[in-house]
Structure formats: C-alpha cells, structure tokens
Amino acid sequence: MFTQFSTWDIVRNLLEGGKWTLALTLIAFVLGGIAGLLVLFARIAGSRLLQTASKAYIEVFQGTPLLMQLFIVFFGLSLAGVDVSPWVAAAIGLTLFTSAYLAEIWRGCVESVSKGQWEASASLAMRYTEQMRYVILPQALRIAIPPTVGFSVQVVKGTAVASIIGFAELTKTGSMLANATFQPFMVFGFVALGYFFLCYPLSLYAKHLERKFHVAR
C-alpha cells in the first residue's frame, strides 16, 4: 500500500500537529506560571528552609536536560502506578521546567528593585509582607513582563522535545511525515517554518516591550 502525499496533505497534517504544540505550550506556560509563582515566593521567603529547597529545585531543572526531566516524569509516574499518556507526562514535565525558569527570572526582577525602595518602605514601618505586597512586587511585575514574554519562546521550542516521549505534536508529526513521504527536506523545512511563525512574533513582542520599558525608565 502506497499513499501519495500532496504538499497540501503534508501542510494539513503539520497544522494538526501544530495545534497540539500550541495546546501543550499554553498548558505548560499557564500552569508553569502558577507553579513558578509558588517557587518564587518560596525563593524570596523569610524561611531559610524554603529558600534552600526552592533554590535546589531551580538549579536541578536548569542544570539537567529537558529530555531527562520528561523521561523521569514519564517513567516515574508509571512506576507509581499511574498510567500516564505521553500527553500528560509532557504537560507535567514542561510545567515543572517552566516553573523553575520563570521563578528564577522573576527572582531577578524582584532583586532588581532598588535597595532604596526597601529602605523607604521599612522606614514607614511596613512589615516584610507589606513591603512585598505594596512596594516591591508591583514594581517587579512591570520589569518582569518582557523577559516572561521572551521565555514563552523557550516553552514553545521545549515542546519539541515532547516528541521523543511519543507525543504527536509538530515535530513528531513531521518525523512521521518525513518517513512516509521520503521528503525530509521539505517536511522539516515546513516544521521549522511552523515553529518560526509561533516564536518570532513572541520574540518581536518581547523585544518591543523591553525597548518600551527602557524608554519609560
């Protein structure tokens, strides 16, 4: 049995895979953002234990390959008796990965708020949580937006690794099509183009925000 693939067939199949890339990105980014906020709070908390634990968490995720993280989630969960699909494993793995990176980016933003702001708010008899809530975080939030948008590009690209644990997103679809059509040059060219269309606008937007922010300062 031999199926003839037209260019349109290839593109249509890739678009189908691209949808899953987008879905995985959104889930990882949103859940990773929420988890990252928790890690951030632990990282800047008064408690030494929480600080150390969250620092270790960040260092482990930033110091190991995303592929290994996905493998460990995938095989670890099945050991625990949870039968996971590649889709769930990828979502969990990328969420953890994203949370570590976002927490670290945001910590940098919190720390970049000038020391004078801490001193000024302390001199007004504010407690640590009040300083954070009313003075530091609102300023850090503004600084955090451009690099956060910039990091979303890394999340989109990270989803490609999920193809290796068998999740049929854009890259996996591309691999299957390349095998079936014997046209790897064209197929992977289209795959690259697909990622580029997803990522480039985000990169441009991040750069734009960064510039706007610098002018505003």
Residues that bind other proteins (CB under 8 A): 60, 63-69, 71-72, 75-76, 79-80, 153, 156-161, 163-164, 171, 174-175, 178, 183-185, 187-189, 191-192, 195-196, 199-200, 203
Smallest distance, other proteins to C-beta of residue 215, A:
17
- Whichever of 24 and 136 has its CB closer to other proteins, that residue is 24
Q: What is the distance between the alpha carbons of residues 14 and 176, in angstroms, rounded to a whole number?
A: 10
- Whichever of 17 and 36 has its CB closer to other proteins, that residue is 17
Smallest distance, other proteins to C-beta of residue 140, A:
22
- Whichever of 137 and 191 has its CB closer to other proteins, that residue is 191
Smallest distance, other proteins to C-beta of residue 72, A:
5
- Whichever of 60 and 120 has its CB closer to other proteins, that residue is 60
Smallest distance, other proteins to C-beta of residue 57, A:
13
